[in-house]
Amino acid sequence: MAVQDFGVEKAKQKKEVEAAQKGPDEPKQPDLPNRIHTWPYLVRLEFIVAVIVMIVMTVWSITIDAPLEEPANPNRTPNPSKAPWYFLGLQEMLVYFDPWFAGVVLPSLIIVGLMLIPYIDINPRGNGYYTWAERKFSISVFMFGFLILWISLIAIGTFLRGPGWYFFAPWKFWDPHKVVALTNIDLPYLMCGWLGLPPTALVDDLIGGILTATFYPGLAIVGWPLLQKKAPDIARQLGGVRYHVVAGLFLLMMSLPAKMLLRWTLNVKYIWTCCGNSQFFNI
């Protein structure tokens, strides 16, 4: 009996020593579920937010007068004739590209690019995980395209484009009689002057084709081995086909600021006029 009591006492002392080595007990974490059902938790929250937004918009629309103009007069065309604010970005792009490219190709590529996001995403954390630490490149590209390009184009078309669709600084008067003589020139003809070549239609098509092919797929082809060398893990996860899709969409997006800079600095109208300045394929 004494031996049994001694063993129990020994085990009790051992537990006390182990408890002293562990320190004070840590607070027990609440046992929360990893997942919750969409209904009713998410749907209920979305419904409450929608009701609040509708109330705010209703009160705002009642208390603030809409800036309506006089009734439309078919005998008097406004100068400038502007699209609604949400289409002013497209109208501003018409300054730098042909209508088929600014009004059809670029908007279609924006929609296609957004649809391809789930298929070109290689993040292992799964869908819906959009933190800056995990998606620096994706968030940076999206914010550049949305804020720097799209929102800035809307702001330029709203506040800086006056009569004749001329560019007016914020401190300048919108003169309806302003006439600016702009001498636009195609980039191949400009390069012919720099290189001392004859500015013919054949040389124009040749130089324009080389410039277009150098921008893409030239940059995309050169970038693939560089990515494999500098970031082999990303290149292996991305794959060749997915890389070229991402690179193509990215370069096409960057063609807009590149064309804007060429127009502002060198008055460049087109980079490539295929088939002798055709009316259906000018870039």
164-173 pLDDT per residue, tens: 888 888 888 8
pLDDT per position as a tens digit, 91-101: 999 889 888 88
Answer whether residue 32 shows pLDDT above 70: no
What pLDDT is recorded for position 49? 95
Higher-confidence residue of 120 and 12: namely 120
| DSSP-derived secondary structure for 243-260 | HHHHHHHHHHHHHHHHHH
Task: Tell me the percentage of the chain whose pLDDT exceeds 90.
Answer: 10
pLDDT per position as a tens digit, 223-264: 888 888 888 888 888 888 888 888 888 888 888 899 999 888
Q: What is the pTM of this model?
A: 0.70
Answer whether residue 44 shows pLDDT above 80: yes
Do the Cβ atoms of 244 and 220 come closer than 8 Å? yes
What pLDDT is recorded for position 61? 87
Answer whether residue 58 shows pLDDT above 90: yes
Distance from C-alpha of 86 to C-alpha of 83, rounded to nearest angstrom = 8
Burial zone of 109 (CB within 10 Å; 0-12 exposed, 13-18 middle, 19+ buried):
middle
Distance from C-alpha of 208 to C-alpha of 272, rounded to nearest angstrom = 4
